[in-house]
Every structure is written in C-alpha cells, then in structure tokens.
Structure 1
C-alpha cells in the first residue's frame, strides 16, 4: 500500500508551510485544499521549492462551511488514490477562526456560531468524509524503515487537528475568548472520541491527536502580536517545522491527546 498526505486548508499560514514542508522532506503525494484561488494556492505552495516533482501536489477545492465541497474533495481523493492501493498516512486539519470576546457582553451570536462551525464542526465533517481513507486493521502498511515513510510519523498513520492551549479547561486562568476557547476544547473532545473509534477500526495502525502551534504570525493572531514577546511569536515556517517534529516523535501511547509545539502535553 502506498501512503498519501492531506493538508486542509493550505492556502496560507501554517497550512501553506506544512504543505511545502511535506513536499520538501517526504516522497509522498500531498493533497492541499483551498476555498478559492486554487491556481494561486498551487503556485504559493510550490514557490521556490527545488527538486520537487510538481505532480506530487494536488490542490482541491474545499470549504469546511460547505459540506458538499468536502464530499466532492473526498470523491476526487478516491479517484487519485484508490483505496485498494493507497491509504492516508497523515491528515493535517487546520481550520481556525477567532473573535476575541473579553467579556460576556462582547459575545455575538452569529460570530460565535461561525466560530463553532469553522473550528469544531469543520473538523468533524472532515472526519466524516476523509477519515475512511485512513488504514484499517487489515491494511498492509510500509515498514517503518521504508523510504515511503521518510519524514513522516513512523509505524502508524496520524489524523491531527489544530487546537490551542486556550482550549484546555485545566489551564484556563485568565478567562475571556469564550467562543474560541469553547470551540477548541470541543476539538480536543472530538479528537479523543475519534481516537477511540480508531482503536476499534485501525488498532495501532492509526491514531488521532490535537496540536497547539504556539502564537504564530498569521491573520488569526494579528491583533495580538503586540502582546507577545518576540521569542514567543513564531513564523508559520518555524511552527510547521516544530509541529512535524512533534508528530514524528509521537508513539501510539500518545494517542487521543493534545500536544504543543515543544512536544509537551496540553492538559484537557
């Protein structure tokens, strides 16, 4: 069986840099998604990359707020990578939206609903349509020392969803950010629930984790850059490098948990 990888979305920020990193450090095909401007996304992902075969990159339209596009992307992935010959070895699910409510009076119903639709329901619907490509107990995977798995997590496939430290209930000492905190806490619950499913369907051949990338210089965090020390404000490229190292360093006992960019567990 041959592995492939998924980065959704990959049009900018961390997703863009993760797609670029996978092309640079692995030999596997990469499916990258974007809501629009697919040609521009493809150009941005490939920009400046040396000795990368462009046919390894497949850019598909996908909007987590539109289930039909997820269904269509899954159908296209099935055409590109028939399940009899291929399996999904690494999925990076990264949708994110933030409205920073500092007090209850600032909670806006429509903004909060959009936050949950993007941050929580988005990854759930991605699971619905794309997780069937993960290996099952009967799947024959490459040996861990195979060149097919170079630069990827070894021994098992991984479904990774972007979370945040503020999604930790235990670590919540400041309050605020009601909808964002709650949506990311829900992401961690989805991760744990889905990992329980994988224990049954895939055994030790696949696991799910959540990731905390730190504070990264993307549009999501732009309004808060001034409140973060320079050494704690990361470039998207740095974050992508760190997150891939974390994923490659996880073993099957680390399943179902949230891990930060340093490889430390974020408590639930």
Structure 2
C-alpha cells in the first residue's frame, strides 16, 4: 500500500510551508487545496524546490466533494491510503467584549474553523487506513496514520484566563471536541492504524495574526517555515497514547 498526504488549504501561510516541508522531507505524493489561482498556488509551493520531484504535488480546488472525488482517481483505495493529513482552515474576528459579537462574523468563524474540518474528515476520512491496511514503514512518517486539525491554545477551556475572542475560542474548543469524536470513530474503523489529533502552532508571522504581532513576547513570534517544521515534528512524534488530544508546537499537551 502506498501512502499519500493532504494539506488543506495550502495557498499561503502555514499550509504553504507545510506542503513545502513535506516535499523536502518525505517521499509522499501530496494533495493540497486552494480556493483560486491554482497555478499560482502550485508555483508558490514549488518556488526554489528544484531538487524535488515536482510531479508529487497536486493542487486541487478547495471544494471537498470535488477534491475527494479527484483523490479517488489519483489514489485508488485498493492500492493507496492517506497517511498524513493537515486540515488547517482558519479565520479570526477578535471580539474584546460581548457587544462586539457579530452574527455573520461568528457564523463565518464556525463555518470555517469547525464545520470546514468536519466536512473534510467526512469526505477524506475514508482514505485513512483500515485495520487490515499494511502501513508503510518510513522514518520520515509517523508510525500510525495521523489526521491533524488546526486548533489553538485559546480553545482550551481550562487555560482560558483572559476571556474575549468569543467566536474564535468557541470554534476552536469545538475543533477539539470534533478531534476527540473522530478519534473515537477511528478506534473502531482503523484500530491502531490511524489517530486524530489537534494542533496549536503558536503565534505565526502570517497575515492571519498580523494585528497581534506587537503584543507577542520576544522569541514567541514564529516564521511560517519554523511553524511548519515544528508541526511536522509534532505529528511524526505522536504515538497511540497521544490520540484524541491537542498538542502544541513543542509537543506539549494543551489541556481541554
């Protein structure tokens, strides 16, 4: 059985650099997604990577039904399985008080941060290995297939000491619940062959967090390249005991 990887979306920021990191540090065929300008997204991911097999990269339009259908053609399930997946959509409206909560913004936050990954696991989850799948043994890959969804430390109810960011906090807390629930499903469907986890990348220097760079402590504002490297290391280092939990960029557990 041949493994492959998924990074969605990957047109910029962490996703783009995760795709680049996987191209440089694994032998996997990689599926990435972008909402538009697919050729530009592919060019950005491959920029300067002359030493890698560029045919390993597939850039698909960010529509889960169409993308999953395309993956069925690219990677027939009888011969292939999804070993490494990063479901990382994200949007933030930083409400500082309840009066700043906007219905449409909050709805978009949940649609993007929570419902987006839920639909991804619905349509791409069937590509993960089953109990009978023979996993690839490769030191550059986690020992078990991993479905990783982007969360955030502010999604931790235990760790919430500051308040604010109502819709974002709630959407990320929901992501952690989705992760745990999907991992329970994988225990039955995949046994010890696949796990689900959530990830906290820290504060990364992308357009997503630009408004907050000034308030970040020295040494705690990470480049997208550094973040991608760390999130790759965290996923590769997970074991069966780590399943269903949220892990930060250092490999430390974020409490629920």
Q: TM-score, normalised by structure 1?
A: 0.94
How far, CA to CA, are the matches of 2:241 and 2:50 in structure 1? 36
- The 5 Å alignment of 1:1-268 reads 1-62=1-62, 69-142=63-136, 144=137, 149-154=138-143, 156-268=144-256
Runs of 4+ residues over 6 Å off in structure 1: none
Residue 141 of structure 1 and its aligned partner are, at CA, apart by: 1.6
Alignment-derived partner of residue 66 in structure 1 = none
Any stretches of 5+ residues in structure 2 without a counterpart? Answer: none
RMSD between aligned alpha carbons?
A: 0.7
Question: SS of 2:49's equivalent?
Answer: coil
Show CA shifts across 1:8-41 (max 9, x none).
0000000000000000000110001100010000
1:163: how far off?
A: 0.2
Count of aligned positions: 256
Structure 1 unaligned blocks of 5 or more: 63-68
Deviations 1:127-160 (A, max 9, x none): 1111100000011222x3xxxx342212x10000
In the aligned structure 1, how far is the partner of 2:220 from the partner of 2:50?
30
Structure 2: how far apart are the matches of 1:32 and 1:41? 9
State the 1:230 CA deviation.
2.9
